[in-house]
Each structure stands twice: as structure tokens, then as C-alpha cells.
Homo-oligomer: A and B are copies of this chain.
Amino acid sequence: MSIESDIDNISLEAKRDAAPLSVLPTAAKNAALEAMADALLAAEPAILEANRRDILTAEDKGIPKSLADRLALDKAKIAKMADSVRAIAKLPDPVGRIIDEKKRPNGLWIRKVGVPIGVILIIYESRPNVTADCMALCLKSGNSVILKGGSEALNSNEAIFSAMKAAALAHAVPPGAFGLVRSSDRSAVQRLLGMTGRIDLVIPRGGEGLIRDVAEHSKIPVIKHYKGVCHVFVDAKADLRKAEAIVVNAKTQNPAVCNAMETLLVHEAVADRFLPVIADALRRKKVEIRGDEATRALVGDAKAATEADWSDEYLDLILAVRVVKDLRAAMEHIRRYGSQHSDAIVTEDKASAEAFTSGVDSACVFVNCSTRFNDGGEFGMGAEMGISTDKLHARGPMGLEELTTYKYIVVGDGQVRS
């Protein structure tokens, strides 16, 4: 079968089965999810074998170790995938939930009800667990999903996909609910991104290059974040012990992820007290500091930050540091260089906290806690489908509810409009 006809079939089936899927009862979806989790565990040998082949190919191609690490599966990771699928089974069904309801003076009863979006295309890189998470989240939210993973993980994705899909189909889930694009051809993605009549939403997950490419070429609505240039601002009225813990956590607890801090802004009133202390703490964690002039005057071994450092997403143990005149200057810096992802203020002053949270236009704004909390799990959403910095539909972590839209159901007793 040609790539084109393969993709045409997948999208056609996805669209066709979106209708029965949208009315699948909660109990049927949950039973299928439990069976999918069981199937993951039962297929463990096949998945590990497929993963071994992917890793060998990757090593032959000489891909970076960080990529190989994200690609690698083991028994514990497969067990975790299965746990995640079961956790999604236990979450409330977002389909059919009443978002709002009211009775109008003319007697009309208007309900705003959660419904699936339809067909969702996920384009992602490396991590094979995304395959399992997306299949489970889309099924629970009543959406068909089309998966386009990276070519480096094709065998692993296929093994996970086949096991889970077979289990779901044995539990009344229609086959179009899950599609996997096996081609690694770029034209395959281009073709999918033009299918406005069959696909309702595209979610790209991966590096900024991948995401920009998808956003640039898609005719279908895209929800995304390009990158996370996240800030922590240590205010004049900050509790500096809290500030130290938050800065160290936001930078080092997992520096490779989008909600890690990349730039530290320090109020000049506390710079001389705070910077030497935090520099010590970060030094112990092997963080390289790139500071402005004021920072370098206080932190001897800091490198000089260039203009490019303020908008860089390092995803590494590197931190840009700047001393700012006041809260307003901090907010101005964030507006200019930030990515509207996750930004925090550390302060004991209520008015400053209030000015920061209302003035900083980011998906998540934090007061006295780490930017690392911008996460579906930490927000109590169960698993997450990604994080959005867009303004429309979903912002911040995307869980099950964010994978639904709504319809209005209006019930009357013969009312007409006059």
C-alpha cells in the first residue's frame, strides 16, 4: 500500500468512527482501558525486543545519548505506562459532563455539555510512552487519535500500539479510534496537516523545530508550546530561604523539561544578599551561571550573558541571571524575552504578588513555588497530553477536559422566537 493511500485510510477510518466513539458509554471505555493496560504488560517481551531494535538502529546512526535515554524502555517503564492507563480509567469521563446550565425566562433549559473534539493528530518525538498516554487519553475523552511518532521509535511505538489496539477492539472500541502512521516520510505529515475535513486538532510535541514546522504548514488548528523560557523573580520582599529552595528546584530538579527555569531575575535591593548564596547553592549542583554586569560584580565566576541568553531555552544546567531595578522591570523583561509558559515571583508582599500575577501574561503564573509545578499530574488532572502556551481553547497543562469541546443542548416545550 502506498503512503498516500495508507494515510487516507487511517484518516477516513478515524473520522468515520469518531461518531460511534463519541457516544461510547463510560463503562465500556474504562473496561477497554483496563484491558489495554493488561495488554501492555502481557506484551512486555515483544515491546522490549522492538525497543532493542530501535536502540540498535539509533546507536548505528550515532544519535545523542540524551535521545537514546528517552527512547529506551525497561520493565519498570512499561509497568509505569500500564499504571498510567489504569489511572486514566479511574478519572471522571469528560464526555457528557455539564459545564453550565440555566433556565431562561421563556422556559428554555440550556445545558453546555462536554463532547469529544473528534479526530486528534499527535506528532511527537522519541519517547514511546507518549503512544500509550495518548491512546488512553483520547479513548477516555471519546476522540479518535492518529499517532505520528518519530522514526527512531517506530518499532517500539508499533509494538505498544498493536498490543493496546487489539485489546481495545476486543472491548467494543471501533477500529478507527486508533491509527498509527508508519511512514517516516515528511510528505506523510504534510498530507495529514492538510486534512481539514477529517482531522479536527493537531498537537505537536517535541523540539521547537518540529513544532514550528507543524504550525507553519498545518491547515488544521494546532495547540502547542514552542518552548519554555521560564523565569523566577526574587522580589525585594522575598523570603530568601524560600527563594533559594525554589530557584534550585526550578533549575535543577529536571533541567531538560519545558517548565524548568532558564532565567533568574533578582531585585537590586536583595541582590547583594541573595546572589552569593544562590550562586553557591547552584555551584554545588554544577549549574553554569551567565550573568549581567551587576550579577558578575557579585558572583565572581559567572560568565557574561549575551543578549541571546535572555531568550535561550537551555534545557540544561545553565542559568541566565539578571539584576533588575524593580518589579516593573522584571515584568518588562518577562514580557520581552519570555515564552508565556511558566513564570514565578518569590515575595512576601501581597501587592507585588498581585501585580505580578495579573500583569504577567503566561499560561501559569506562580507565587512562592517552583515553575516545575506546571504539569498535568501536579494540577490533579491525571495524565497530560502536553502543555499549551496558546491563547485559544487550552492554556497550561492539557488533560482530559482540554481534549473535549462542548455543545449546547436546548430543551423546550414548543417555544418559538418572536
Interface residues of A (CB under 8 A from B): 19, 22-23, 96, 102, 104, 108, 110, 115, 117-118, 200-201, 221, 223, 239, 241-242, 245-246, 248-250, 253, 335, 353, 357-359, 361-370, 372-375, 378-380, 390-393, 395-396, 405-418
Does A416 lie within 8 Å of B372, measured CB to CB? yes
A242 closest partner in B (C-beta): B414
Complex CA gap A396/B366 in Å reads 33
Complex CA gap A115/B115 in Å reads 24
Does A372 lie within 8 Å of B242, measured CB to CB? no
- 20 further A-B pairs in the complex, CB-CB below 8 A; given A374-B408, A391-B405: A19-B361, A200-B391, A201-B392, A221-B221, A363-B407, A364-B408, A365-B408, A365-B409, A365-B410, A366-B411, A367-B410, A367-B411, A368-B412, A369-B412, A369-B413, A372-B416, A379-B408, A395-B406, A395-B407, A396-B408
Does B417 lie within 8 Å of A118, measured CB to CB? no
Interface centre among A223, A250, A367, A375 (most CB of B within 10 A): A367
Does B407 lie within 8 Å of A366, measured CB to CB? no
Could you pull out 23 A-B pairs where Cβ atoms are within 8 angstroms? A19-B359, A96-B358, A110-B379, A118-B391, A221-B221, A221-B390, A221-B391, A249-B416, A249-B417, A353-B411, A357-B409, A363-B407, A363-B408, A364-B410, A365-B408, A365-B410, A367-B409, A369-B411, A369-B414, A373-B410, A378-B417, A395-B405, A395-B407
Chain B residues, CB < 8 A from A104: 378-380
**What 3 pairs between A and B have smallest CB-CB spacing?**
A369-B412, A249-B416, A242-B414
Does B410 lie within 8 Å of A201, measured CB to CB? no
Does A221 lie within 8 Å of B392, measured CB to CB? yes
Interface centre among A249, A335, A393 (most CB of B within 10 A): A393
A222 closest partner in B (C-beta): B221
Whole-angstrom distance between the Cβ of A385 and the nearest chain B Cβ? 14
Does B412 lie within 8 Å of A253, measured CB to CB? no
Whole-angstrom distance between the Cβ of A16 and the nearest chain B Cβ? 11
A111 closest partner in B (C-beta): B357
Chain B residues, CB < 8 A from A405: 391-392, 395
Chain B residues, CB < 8 A from A417: 249, 253, 370, 372-373, 375, 378
Does B19 lie within 8 Å of A391, measured CB to CB? no
Complex CA gap A393/B416 in Å reads 29
Whole-angstrom distance between the Cβ of A247 and the nearest chain B Cβ? 9
Does A391 lie within 8 Å of B359, measured CB to CB? no
Does A370 lie within 8 Å of B411, measured CB to CB? no
Chain B residues, CB < 8 A from A413: 242, 368-369
A412 closest partner in B (C-beta): B369
Complex CA gap A336/B407 in Å reads 18
Known contacts: A245-B414, A369-B416. The answer to whether A201 contacts B407 by CB under 8 A is no
